[in-house]
Structure 1
């Protein structure tokens, strides 16, 4: 029996080329996507938290219960989470709470453990949504500033001064 050396045929060469082309094409598409993501400036950037529109309601009547509101903006490329809010100019504990409506159109508040602040997005607290409940220190007056510290999962503590306002004033 005579052994003939192996010779590539056109069909075998075409099949081998197609088999090698598929992973190369997938890698090229993935590399292109990663390049575009990196070029946009968001790849690998941590959360960048900024606090604006910080205000706390002046308590009304004989109660010291009140609420504080903040606009939290995350200009970074990673999500973050608000874990808690502390305040040195108040008595007692603070709590994150979310206001909900029942089917009978009554409102109630429920305490929440945390709130998400998405990458490239913001979280706007409001009387009809998320807020920080607390007890005001006696002697607060309208237009005083109260120092708050907002604690985030990745960004750590961020300080903000909240303006004491009467409810309904300045559109809040």
Structure 2
């Protein structure tokens, strides 16, 4: 075999590894570019890392009926921020007893009952509208009259506590 040069059949050409390397690098670069574009859009929309911004309004306490020792309070809680928050508790110096969060549930047979809850999510850009058919605040009844104002402090997992007033109203009606 003198005078002729034979190419070894198992030996790769030098051009092929460069093309393979370029293709192997292209996939992660494209994935990173796509992720960076998505994050840039998210930041540009003002949603990246913006904390919850909680507003509480429309507070009302139901006037206790008869010899009832408990009543309920309701609030509208809005979160104008970019992160979820959780309502983790409510206090009121105007309540003669403990104050707690509860949720009304229905059994399979249609009977209603209330169950205590430790926290309620207030979604980013959303709201929590308390009602007699969902989440409410249970508190001890006092000698209130329709139109009285009861002070409350709502406590959140990430936001500062919010102090607010709730007006005492007749069930199914408005303050007089």
Residue pairs, 1:73-84, within 5 angstroms: 73-84=78-89
Deviations 1:129-155 (A, max 9, x none): 1111111222x1111211100011111
Runs of at least 5 residues in structure 2 that lack an aligned partner in the other structure: 1-12
TM-score, normalised by the number of residues in structure 1: 0.89
Structure 1 residue 117, shift from structure 2 partner: 1.1
1:28 lines up with 2:28 in the alignment: no
Match of 2:76 in 1: 71
Whether 1:87 and 2:120 are equivalent positions in the alignment is: no
1:83-124: per-residue Cα shift (whole Å, max 9, x none)?
110011120101111111122222111111111111111111
Give the TM-score, by structure 2 length. Answer: 0.87
Aligned position for 1:3: none
Match of 1:123 in 2: 128
**Aligned pair count?**
164
1:151 aligns with 2:146: no
1:164 matched to 2:141? no
Cα RMSD for the two superposed structures: 1.8
Q: Normalized per residue, which structure has more strand?
A: 1
CA distance in 1 between partners of 2:98 and 2:160 (Å): 19
Runs of 4 or more consecutive aligned structure 1 residues displaced over 4 Å after TM superposition = none
Larger Cα-atom Rg: 2
Structure 1, unpaired ranges of 5+? 1-6
Aligned residue for 1:147, secondary structure, equals strand
1:22-80 CA distances to partner (integer Å, 9 max, x unpaired)? 11101100100110110010101111111112111011112231100011111111111
